[in-house]
Structure 1
Amino acid sequence: MNLNKMIDHTYLKAFGTSEEINTLLKEAKEYNFKSVCVNPFWVEHANLELKGTEVLVCTVIGFPLGANTIESKAFEAKDAVNKGADEIDMVLNVGMAKEHNYDYIYNEVKNVKAACGDKTLKVILETCYLTKEEIEGVSKASIDAGADFIKTSTGFGTGGALVEDVKLMKSIAKDKEVKASGGVRSKEDVDLMVKAGATRIGTSSGVKLMQGLVSDTDY
């Protein structure tokens, strides 16, 4: 397992400045991470700074609440792709998930996937707010609608990735992929998530993970 190529090296705090983002990009190049995950404002800058490297640019859509309209999420995704995003992590509508309106989730994901074109779409379920039945329902709707990944968490909710949730998600994703994010703080945590079926890890602690250290951050 090449740990570095499983990591989406992440900075999504509201108060990130050029200095923090440039540090993230420098670290991503040094460790050759799979991607950097940044807010949409930084996509164009990240794309320019990472030219000539293997590091992908990932951004978030409808973040962190997921309560945007389908139309606004689709526009945001298309805009991000036009500015150089390789991967899109979209928060689904958690309220509709709680109502078990899986047709809405399907339609939402399908529209955003169409806006992404051939770029990778990861759908964030925000599992901390969902029952096991709801995780199963939105996972199936998202995969059926064309999602390339289903992802556990934003890192801004009440909890992060749980091994049992990753196992459940992978059982539904089958040949599609699962991203574990939120609370993955050590190499041991990574190993547990991978064993459960995750193929990508979202974390702001990529450097510490590569150094074999334990992080004290929530994301």
Structure 2
Amino acid sequence: MKELDKEVLTVSDIAYTMDPSALAINASYEDLYEMIGACKKYEFGSSFTWPAYYPVFSAELKKTKTAFGASLAFPSGQEPTFLKEKQAEWFMTMDPVEVDMVMNVGWLRSKKFKETEDDIKAVRKVIGDTSLKVIIEAMQLTDEEIISACKVCIDAGADYVKTGTGFSKDPTTLHHVELIKATVGTQAKLKVAGGVRDLKTLLQMYKRGARRFGIGYRNAVNIIKEAQNLPGGQVDTNKADELELQKTQPADTGY
């Protein structure tokens, strides 16, 4: 997917930066179709749910302008590499535009950097040129570990470093975004997930270098509703920190 490279965003631009998900443990087909309906209406960038739904989900998203994204080794990242390879092989039969995989953070924290890198490379080999985002669960890491995780992602050929699964009790912070962006520079892109529940937070993180946002689909819709109230239907992200926006009530749903 083409990444936005602009400072002034319209409502449709904001929608494009968001990847709505139905990844609560109790997500149902009703949730799935509600999310697909939102994708048709708002034209989000890509969308994610649990693998059990992929045969239906991938087919339905082809009827929209929203790309099909696949979540691999989600949410723990602790599966052995050969299972990740098998999962990736199955995903590729449904032509995902993007694969978001969870890093084996335990290996990283154990300083098994080569094993962590090889694990990612194995998935990269299976999916080829398909966009690969690697989730590092930054809110569970020290700054030193975040830097190490970013370097592993770059060396393994990831397209994006993604901050989290959304399953942590702690959110992605502006500090996480700034640290990751400073580490990866132009060598990888940055996706935020976990804790983005209003438009101002999204814009503040966009200003600091994040370009994609994984958000529970009901919160994504709420953010669109916030954006629709922007004066002139657009916003200068350089002024994100000073914005006073009318918030909608965050949805009490995961991710």
Aligned to 1:49: 60
Whether 1:106 and 2:117 are equivalent positions in the alignment is yes
8 Å contact kept, 1:91–1:123:
yes
Equivalenced residue count is 219
Q: Please, which runs of 5 or more residues in structure 2 have no aligned partner?
A: 1-8, 227-247
Whether 1:198 and 2:210 are equivalent positions in the alignment is yes
Q: Compute the TM-score of the two structures, normalised by the length of structure 1.
A: 0.95
**Matches of 2:73 and 2:16 in 1, distance apart?**
26
**Matches of 1:155 and 1:108 in 2, distance apart?**
22
Correspondences of 1:23-38 after superposition (within 5 Å): 23-38=34-49
AA matched with 1:215: P
**Matches of 2:249 and 2:47 in 1, distance apart?**
20
User: Quick check: which has more Rg, 1 or 2?
Assistant: 2
What's the offset of the Cα at 1:114? 1.1
Whether 1:189 and 2:224 are equivalent positions in the alignment is no
Whether 1:208 and 2:222 are equivalent positions in the alignment is yes
AA matched with 2:225: Q
Q: Over aligned residue pairs, what C-alpha RMSD do you find?
A: 1.3
SS in structure 1 of the partner of residue 27 of structure 2: coil
**Matches of 1:115 and 1:168 in 2, distance apart?**
30
AA matched with 1:189: T
SS in structure 1 of the partner of residue 125 of structure 2: helix
8 Å contact kept, 2:39–2:65:
no
**Matches of 1:17 and 1:169 in 2, distance apart?**
34
What's the offset of the Cα at 1:71? 1.2
8 Å contact kept, 1:164–1:196:
no
AA matched with 1:190: L
Aligned to 2:94: 83
Q: Compute the TM-score of the two structures, normalised by the length of structure 2.
A: 0.82
Correspondences of 1:128-143 after superposition (within 5 Å): 128-143=139-154
Identity %: 30
8 Å contact kept, 2:39–2:64:
no
Q: Please, which runs of 5 or more residues in structure 1 have no aligned partner?
A: none
Q: Deviations over 1:51-79 (max 9, x none)?
A: 24321011211111111111111211221
Distance 1:114 1:211, change over 3 A: same
Whether 1:164 and 2:167 are equivalent positions in the alignment is no
Q: Deviations over 1:74-124 (max 9, x none)?
A: 211221121232211111111111112211221111111111112111100
AA matched with 2:209: G
Whether 1:4 and 2:18 are equivalent positions in the alignment is no
8 Å contact kept, 1:87–1:121:
yes
8 Å contact kept, 2:138–2:163:
yes
**Matches of 2:178 and 2:113 in 1, distance apart?**
21
What's the offset of the Cα at 1:172? 2.3
Aligned to 2:191: 179
- Considering Cα pairs closer than 8 Å and 6+ residues apart, tell me whether 1 or 2 has the greater RCO: 2
